[in-house]
Amino acid sequence: MMIDNLLKIEKIGKQLLRGGIALYLASIIFFTLGNIKSAEAVQLHTGLVGMLLFGLIFLLLFHYKNPKAGAIGGAGVILFFLSSAILVAYSDFNQNMSGSIIFLRIIKDILLAFGALILTGESVKEMVRQKITKPFPKR
């Protein structure tokens, strides 16, 4: 009984983490594209990053229908947050920002990458579970 409760808590936590990361990625799209005043101001890289993030959100949430898609989305989110940490560090160092601010911005991206790693592991575990419990083929 206690183990069932612990597993439920873990499942709810992972669902909240998956939804939270998806919401965070959606807010990046919204605030980036929402701050653009005119259509001419939309740059190619902004649109491409927005499309990439939308795809990652879709794959991350599609885990519930297809764990393989969730694993691919999770791996993509890990790469996104790690590259984001590098870009933030580079730009902040060039602007001579405070070391504590740089640290906080970088550690946030690294922690989000760790969260995505947990979700990727959950998707891979579900893929293995489905493969193990798959019925034997009939001859």
> Which pLDDT belongs to residue 76?
95
Counted residue by residue, the chain has a size of: 139
3-state class of 97 per DSSP? Answer: coil
**Helices assigned H by DSSP within the chain:** 2-34, 44-61, 67-94, 99-133
Separation of alpha carbons 11 and 22, rounded Å: 17
Q: Mean pLDDT for each 10-residue chunk of the chain (139 residues)?
A: 88 93 92 64 72 92 92 95 92 86 92 95 92 79
> Which pLDDT belongs to residue 32?
77
> Which pLDDT belongs to residue 44?
67
Burial label, 22 (beta-carbon count in 10 A; 0-12, 13-18, 19+): buried
> Which pLDDT belongs to residue 36?
62
> Which pLDDT belongs to residue 40?
54
3-state class of 72 per DSSP? Answer: helix
Phi first, then psi, for residue 43 (nearest 5°) are -95, 160
Tell me if the pTM is above 0.85: no
Q: Which two tokens stand for residue 26?
A: 């959606």
Separation of alpha carbons 59 and 85, rounded Å: 22
Cα–Cα distances (Å) from 120 to 17, 53, 136, in that order, read 12, 16, 27
